[in-house]
Amino acid sequence: ANQIVLHSRPEGMPVAANFKQVSVELPALEQGEFLVKNLWMSVDPYMRGRMIDRESYIAPFIIGQVLEGGSIGEIIKSNNEAFPVGSKVSAMNGWRSHYVTDGADHTLLPQTPINESHFLGVLGMPGMTAWTGLNKIANLKEGETLFVSGAAGAVGSIVCQLGKLMGAKVIASVGSDDKAQHLSKLGVDAVINYKTTKDLSQSLSDAAPQGIDVYFENVGGEHLTAALNNMNDHGRIAVCGMISQYNDTTPTPGPNNLAMIIIKKLKIEGFIVFEHWDSYPQFAKKMGQWLATDAIKAEQTVYEGLEKAPEAFIGLFEGKNRGKMLVSLK
Ligand code: NDP
């Protein structure tokens, strides 16, 4: 089997040399085990944090060991009745072509006409993150104004569409005109290209003269400063991610307007989606219906082949994706 291992820890922006493809011999199947051929693997921004040797909510990757991440595979040999040949499983065993497992932490995918890759995106962790942030953290209500950063990505594009379904006015921030046009087509009320705007805070105020009730934070830094300036009294900020800072080698200065939290009596709450996983069945039922009725559109950017996985991962920090960034291993 082929695997991608962490070859060295990135300093700043990750580069191809931080990764290495190796070939390993897989063991013969024992009783209770099965062999999986991966079909899809996910690359996600949080993996950058796991490349740093530090304590966090999830253990760091180890140099020389195969990387991990969301995966969807097909069982091609099995000594385990609960996991028959031909069924598809989701697991955290990405960055490898094949592997042998006893099925611990593996979930059989349901039979559905929806393409299995969506279980890594809209019907998986990123979709669940969007839904959790809006419903459980920010408590978005009909008629409110929602601002979303990183709005064309896996999480952000679902936040935008859920925001519209929940009856909010949605203002989005993205890094290209192409992404902006795409979000407009999805019904987003106003989109700011943060790379070409001179003054993000002013652009936000122009787009939302009535102020912002909920900010879904994916980016951090200047975006947080701009949002704080434009929040309404008793506004809520769901802090999901701060991707603009994941490659920083020195601490970025904090926003200089944190006093807005007091003046506007804001509620700011961070969250990690895995702590909310007990609500997954409730979410999946609703999202399945929205997808089936086209009420939510799930876009993907797909890189072909395991050897492209590092490039796909690095691409997240260069804005190369619209919708969920995936690697096809078929
Ligand atoms: P995306 O699909 O949104 O991909 C990352 C996107 O971020 C890029 O396409 C790029 O779009 C944007 N970006 C990259 N660098 C910068 C930068 N310096 N400044 C502004 N934007 C940048 O990833 P996800 O949807 O998977 O994740 C989005 C956020 O949600 C991340 O911060 C992630 O860490 C967080 N997250 C948090 C979870 C939780 O449980 N709290 C769970 C899942 C994700 P553009 O072209 O617009 O710049």
- Torsion angle defined by CA atoms of residues 258, 237, 168 and 324, in that order, rounded to the nearest 10 degrees: 120
Mean per-residue pLDDT, 95-101:
98
Q: State pTM to two decimals.
A: 0.98
Mutational pocket test of ligand 1: of 92, 218, 314, the residue with most ligand atoms within 8 Å of the beta carbon = 218
ipTM of the prediction greater than 0.95, yes or no: yes
Residue 245: the pLDDT is 97
Give, using CA atoms, the residue closest to atom 22 of ligand 1: 244
Residues in contact with ligand 1 by the CB-under-6-Å rule are 44-46, 126, 129, 150, 152-156, 174-176, 179, 218-219, 240-241, 243-244, 271-273, 316-317, 319, 321, 325
Query: What is the pLDDT at residue 252?
Result: 87
Picking from 114, 24, 104, 116, the residue whose alpha carbon sits closest to that of residue 74 is 116
Tokens 């209770």 sit at which residue? 32
Kindly report the protein residue whose alpha carbon is nearest to atom 38 of ligand 1. Answer: 240
Residues whose CB is less than 8 angstroms from the CB of residue 89 and which lie 6 or more positions away in sequence, other chains included: 36, 72, 73, 74, 75, 83, 103, 106, 107, 108, 109
Binning pLDDT at 50, 70 and 90, where does residue 261 land?
very high
CA distance 95 to 2: 8
Euclidean distance between CA atoms 73 and 88, whole angstroms: 6
Q: How high is the mean pLDDT of the chain?
A: 97
CB 272 within 8 A of CB 296: no
Measuring CA to CA, which residue among 138, 207, 136 is closest to residue 174?
207
Residue 313 has pLDDT above 90, yes or no: yes
Ligand 1 atom closest to Cα of residue 321: 9
> What value does the mean pLDDT take over residues 257-283?
98
CB 183 within 8 A of CB 150: no
Instruction: Give mean pLDDT, residues 195-204.
Output: 98
Side chain identity at residue 134, one-letter code = L
pLDDT score at 227: 98
3-state class (DSSP) for residue 37: strand
Mean pLDDT of the 124-146 span: 98
Q: What is the dihedral of CA 207, 212, 218, 219, to 10 degrees?
A: 60
Residue closest via CA to ligand 1's atom 39 equals 272
DSSP string of 117-172, one letter each residue = GGGGTTTSHHHHHHHHIIIIIS---TT-EEEESSTTBHHHHHHHHHHHHTT-EEEE
Query: What separation in Å is there between the alpha carbon of 32 and the centre of ligand 1?
Result: 39
Distance of alpha carbon 214 from alpha carbon 232, whole angstroms: 9
Ligand 1 binding pocket mutation candidate from 159, 219, 243, 302 (most atoms within 8 A of CB): 243
pLDDT digits (tens, 9 = 90+) for 214-245: 999 999 999 999 999 999 999 999 999 999 99
Domains of the chain from N-terminus onward: 2-121+299-328 (3.90.180.10), 125-274 (3.40.50.720)
Closest CA to 296 of 166, 168, 101, 207: 166
Per-residue pLDDT reduced to its tens digit, 35-68: 999 999 999 999 999 999 999 888 999 999 999 9
pLDDT, tens digit (0-9, with 9 covering 90-100), for 14-25: 999 999 999 999
* Structure confidence at residue 277 as a pLDDT band (50, 70, 90): very high
pLDDT at position 248: 96
Beta-strand pair 190-193/231-239: unpaired
